[in-house]
Amino acid sequence: MGQRMTRRQVEEGLNLYEEKNYDAAIKKWTISLQKMKSNRLRFSTLGHLASASRDRGRNKDYLVYAVQQIDIAHELDDNNLRAQAYLTLARANEMLADYFKAVSYARSTLQYSPPGGSIQGYAVLTMADSYIGLCNFSKVVECLDKALIISHENVDHLMEVQVLSTMGKVYLALKDFSKAHAYQRRALEMALSNAAFNDGQNVNVTSKFVRLTKLKLATPLRLMGDFENANKYVEEAMGAASSLGDRPVQAKCLVCIGDIQRSQNNNEVACKKYEAAIQMLQDMNDRYSYTLAMIGLVKAFLALNTQKQTANEILATALSTSTSMGNKLLQARCHLLNERMLKLDHQLEEARRVLDTAQRLYQEADLLCSVCKTSMGMQPDRIQILPCTHMFHERCIMDLLQKWTHQAQPCPKCNQNVLFSRSYIALLCS
């Protein structure tokens, strides 16, 4: 009788969550967990709590529940449960910007899950997001190619949305804004289509991806100078996130709105947005977005020519945080911003030294075009990624691209003869 009541409480929690009564659902699951005797029921309930913690921005709780899940999976000696728990562990560590651990746990997911199943696709996607954090873009593309194949084999449209969106993040990091926009636009179109034809199941999940892709589309639009549409999409994402209590998306929207305001020289408004976002992101332990918000705030302070000491302190924190994450591009961005500040103070020798450090970080991230020997991602440019995953300025390999329609061509870096694979063609948006 007692266990039947416990199962009913779990179901009631699921109903409350579907009704967007999130805190009541979490309370219901937490109370029922204390009375559970079945390890399998404990495992699934911990999964509900983990998902709820992720959606509410409680990233450390997300990790705690994942650790408890893996203990149960080992106790039951169940590989399917191990795969699920390792995937949750991987995702939690990726959100906490502990990227090496995330990759390791994602590999464990692949080890314990059936080949070609959706769970393998999501594990590879988590690896791709982690490799973005580590600035290993060749690995990102390799993982996305695998995830795309799995998404097609399993007819998993939400997985494909994430593949497209993550590829957009790659081009955004490389400052090819038109390709970043193309990928995010396609991701949004697919997310909207999926939501429109949703049969009533997973409504919360599909709506989440709609607001996430709107948010991600706003950034390349801003960087291309389309402030009207950038503002439109981020406001729509913010409105949906606010109505649902989606704090992670709310915080990221604040950063994006700050960026848009700063780009339009509304720097005082931008500062307020960044400051609000920084507090939220710090509470959520989202180190990556926290660093982006700090960099934006420093830029706004520089534009206002105010609070120089505070700007220096914030930039030092941003550099320290990006270094602890192992993200070379964020470190380089901090050094380039520091170079600007040093030039303003006429410390030209120190500015040159800092610029050298930034350029070295781009080279360490393997972002040196092997044709022209200059860095990719320091300035806006068109970038081309070959199927062997090597990257070049598009202008540097234009002859190769023009010959590609007739026969395989050697990659200028690895000399491998490469043709577009079927899955790779499906990724192309330009």
Say how far apart CA 40 and CA 88 lie, in whole Å: 16
Using CA atoms, how far apart are residues 273 and 284, in angstroms rounded to an integer? 17
| Mean pLDDT on 261-288 | 97
pLDDT recorded at residue 406: 62
pLDDT at 399: 77
Distance CA 52, CA 44 (A): 12
Residue range(s) of every CATH 1.25.40.10 domain in the chain: 158-245
Dig out the tokens for 340 from the structure.
Answer: 């600007």
The 3 state secondary structure assigned to 246-283 is: CHHHHHHHHHHHHHHHHHCCCHHHHHHHHHHHHHHHHH
User: Pick from 372, 301, 389, 396: which is nearest to 340 by CA?
Assistant: 301
According to the model, what pLDDT value does residue 92 have? 97
Between CA 409 and CA 393 the distance in angstroms is 16
Token pair recorded at residue 326: 């192992």
In angstroms, rounded to a whole number, what is the distance separating the alpha carbons of residues 67 and 85?
A: 8
CB atoms within 10 A of CB 406: 7
Quick one: which of 83, 142, 76 has its CA closest to 117?
Answer: 83
Predicted local confidence at residue 78, as pLDDT: 96
pLDDT at residue number 350:
96
pLDDT band for 309, please (50, 70, 90 cuts): very high
**Which has the closest alpha carbon to 182: 132, 145, 136, 216?**
216
DSSP string, 189-243: HHHHHHHHT--STTHHHHHHHHHHHHHHHHHHHHHTT-HHHHHHHHHHHHHHHHH
**For residue 1, pLDDT beyond 60:** no
- Token pair of 15 as six digits: 């109903």
Q: Residues 177-186: pLDDT tens digits? A: 999 999 999 9
Q: Tell me what pLDDT residue 200 has.
A: 54
Among all chains, which residue has been given the structure tokens 């029921």? Answer: 41
What DSSP letter does each residue of 64-115 carry, written as one string? HHHHHHHHHHHHHT-HHHHHHHHHHHHHHHHHTT-HHHHHHHHHHHHHHS-T
Distances in Å between the Cα of 282 and the Cα atoms of 301, 334, 397 are 20, 19, 43
**Which percentage of the chain shows pLDDT scores above 70?**
94
pLDDT by residue (tens digit) across 228-250? 999 999 999 999 999 888 999 99
Better-scored residue on pLDDT, 62 or 384: 62
Contact indicator for 114, 79 with CB cutoff of 8 Å:
no
Contact call for residues 84 and 51 (beta carbons, < 8 A): no
Q: Report residue 400's pLDDT band, with 50, 70 and 90 as the boundaries.
A: confident
Token duo for residue 106: 């994602």
The rounded distance, in Å, linking the Cα atoms of 233 and 278 is 21
The average confidence (pLDDT) of the chain is: 91
- Triad 235, 236, 238: Cα angle to 5°: 60
Find the mean pLDDT for residues 336-348.
Answer: 94
pLDDT of 44 reads: 95
pTM of the predicted model over 0.75: yes
- Please name the residue that has the structure tokens 């081309």: 384
Phi and psi (nearest 5°) for 154?
-100, 5
For the domain made up of 266-367, give the CATH fold.
1.25.40
The three-point CA angle 192-287-130 to 5° equals 65
Query: Which among 56-60, 120-124, 200-204, 389-393 has the top mean pLDDT?
Result: 120-124
- In this structure, of 170-184, 324-338, 364-378, 399-413, the range with the lowest mean pLDDT score is 399-413
The CATH classification number of 158-245 equals: 1.25.40.10
- For residue 4, the model assigns a pLDDT of 82
> Which letter does DSSP use for residue 383 in this model?
E
377-395: average pLDDT: 89
Per-residue DSSP letter, 150: H
Whether residue 321 contacts residue 288, with contact meaning beta carbons closer than 8 Å, is answered with no
In this predicted structure, what is the pLDDT of residue 420? Answer: 52
Do 99 and 91 contact (CB within 8 A), yes or no?
A: no
Q: Which of 25-34, 54-63, 252-261, 410-419 has the lowest mean pLDDT?
A: 410-419
* The pLDDT value given to residue 422: 44
Q: Which of 395, 362, 387 is nearest to 377 (CA)?
A: 362
The pLDDT, as a whole number, for residue 428 is 54
Distances (CA, A) of 276 to 86, 213, 247, 333: 33, 22, 12, 22
Query: What is the identity of the amino acid at 385?
Result: I
